[in-house]
A and B are shown apart, each in its own frame.
Chain A
């Protein structure tokens, strides 16, 4: 089944398009921001003023915007306090760039609109509802990708597995026709990379909008077994979602549902592959998957930074913060707070389970966390089921390492395995 559209979705895919290259230009190659975060946290959990992580700060005086100097938060308890206090720390700071690209999404809303809109979309993301996607959809997407390299005895799991599977899962959950998947993946990656290429990202946002609007219209007439059909009929307290709301939410799902899962799964695999004893333990006792994934989210959260803007004068960690201050909440800093975690720099799936902020916290906590947990579990289980042994092969690839600042994940995961 194809979709009748005003936009030309049948245009040939640009052969030179490498979504991975586009993707990887976004965050820069900051290898390890954690020592600097730890140093800053030891000075104080809350810092006022600009902080340079790149070591290449040109030293240009900041433009006077009339706003108070920005604040950065590196302590666990302080980050939790701010994320739980949405009356003081507003998400409207995301209205600028994110709003321009995606429309008005729940990411940038405060109460009461946020609560209502989230309630409308959240039923589709409950863990019990997601079970129906696990065996048929997610596992078969993962198996298809593994089929592409299983005969070879080696692979780069970033390019050949983690990068490709969440976008296909989301496309199916949305109910897109399978022949549209390559185009959908390209638009998705261009939209996500909008910070690297503004014009291309905005064009992709527009094209996706036209494409998805046609599908929304179609589902209003003929509902099917998919998320878009659920969204057009869902109702809370007599309120329904309008087309603009649905469109904004669908656009938000791309960075939120595709990029984060790909990065988080890569970080987990990197942690496990670097620690053979832990990988073997999880392989032999799959009930260890849950603590292992949570530990990877603590150790290397795919999104390291959340922004808020204060609506009133406040105080955090003994530091006065005036109204209208941009506050950077470093999830990565919070997750490695030595006041809370023993040996926080160490990846250890056996550590005592403790809540972390790898999925954020407060009313905006990741809506897709149960989907992410399931997708990542299915991918790792499939690798264990299909290969008796799997090794990180540092002789292949170019010095694989986790990199990035706002978003972090491995540059590559070169592995070798016995051909089944």
Chain B
């Protein structure tokens, strides 16, 4: 089961760091906020780096409806 990516729009500040860590999985929309690309092209380690590298902790990763290793 692949990882699902969720972005908390209230927390996202549009730093673009997720795009740096996992360019195949994230982009910034016209408002400068992060969006998930479908289908996301990134390996799991990149997704974990993007989550950890998010300055405001706006990214969470989920598998089968359960958050993976929540912080």
Q: A353 CB to closest chain B CB, in angstroms?
A: 6
Tell me whether A354 and B49 are in contact (CB under 8 A): yes
A154 within 8 A of B: no
Cα distance, A51 to B32, chains bound together (Å): 41
Cα distance, A354 to B16, chains bound together (Å): 16
Checking B32, B53, B55 against A123 with a beta-carbon cut-off of 8 angstroms, the contacting residue is: B32
Cα distance, A83 to B21, chains bound together (Å): 20
Checking B13, B28, B49, B52 against A363 with a beta-carbon cut-off of 8 angstroms, the contacting residue is: B13
B4 within 8 A of A: no
Q: A373 CB to closest chain B CB, in angstroms?
A: 8
Q: Which residues of A contact B32 (CB under 8 A)?
A: 119, 122-123, 126
Q: Which residues of B contact A342 (CB under 8 A)?
A: none
Q: B15 CB to closest chain A CB, in angstroms?
A: 5
Cα distance, A118 to B32, chains bound together (Å): 11
Checking B49, B53, B57 against A84 with a beta-carbon cut-off of 8 angstroms, the contacting residue is: B57
Tell me whether A355 and B13 are in contact (CB under 8 A): no
Tell me whether B49 and A353 are in contact (CB under 8 A): yes
Tell me whether A127 and B17 are in contact (CB under 8 A): no
Q: Which residues of A contact B15 (CB under 8 A)?
A: 365, 369
A183 within 8 A of B: no
Q: A350 CB to closest chain B CB, in angstroms?
A: 15
Q: Which residues of B contact A128 (CB under 8 A)?
A: 28
Considering only CB atoms, which chain A residue lies closest to B23 in the complex? A127
Tell me whether B49 and A127 are in contact (CB under 8 A): no
Contact A362 to B49, CB < 8 A, known contacts A126-B28, A370-B16? no
Q: Which residues of B contact A127 (CB under 8 A)?
A: 16, 19-20
Q: Which of B47-64 contact A (CB under 8 A)?
A: 49, 52-53, 55-57
Cα distance, A83 to B15, chains bound together (Å): 14
A115 within 8 A of B: yes
Q: Which of A96-126 contact B (CB under 8 A)?
A: 115, 118-119, 122-123, 126
Cα distance, A128 to B17, chains bound together (Å): 13
A361 within 8 A of B: yes
Q: Which of A116-162 contact B (CB under 8 A)?
A: 118-119, 122-123, 126-128
Considering only CB atoms, which chain B residue lies closest to A366 in the complex? B15
Checking B13, B17, B49, B57 against A369 with a beta-carbon cut-off of 8 angstroms, the contacting residue is: B17
Considering only CB atoms, which chain B residue lies closest to A84 in the complex? B57
Tell me whether B28 and A84 are in contact (CB under 8 A): no
Cα distance, A34 to B61, chains bound together (Å): 35
Contact A115 to B55, CB < 8 A, known contacts A122-B32, A126-B28, A354-B49? no
Q: Which residues of B contact A122 (CB under 8 A)?
A: 14, 32
Q: B14 CB to closest chain A CB, in angstroms?
A: 6
Checking A126, A353, A362, A370 against B55 with a beta-carbon cut-off of 8 angstroms, the contacting residue is: A362
Q: B36 CB to closest chain A CB, in angstroms?
A: 17
Cα distance, A89 to B17, chains bound together (Å): 22
Tell me whether B16 and A362 are in contact (CB under 8 A): no
Considering only CB atoms, which chain A residue lies closest to B13 in the complex? A363
Residues of B within 8 A of A (CB): 13-17, 19-21, 28, 32, 49, 52-53, 55-57
Residues of A within 8 A of B (CB): 83-84, 115, 118-119, 122-123, 126-128, 290, 353-355, 360-363, 365, 369-370, 373
Sampled A-B contacts (24; CB under 8 Å): A83-B55, A84-B55, A119-B32, A122-B14, A126-B32, A127-B19, A127-B20, A290-B20, A353-B21, A354-B49, A354-B52, A355-B21, A355-B49, A355-B52, A355-B53, A361-B55, A362-B55, A362-B56, A363-B13, A363-B55, A365-B13, A365-B15, A365-B55, A369-B17
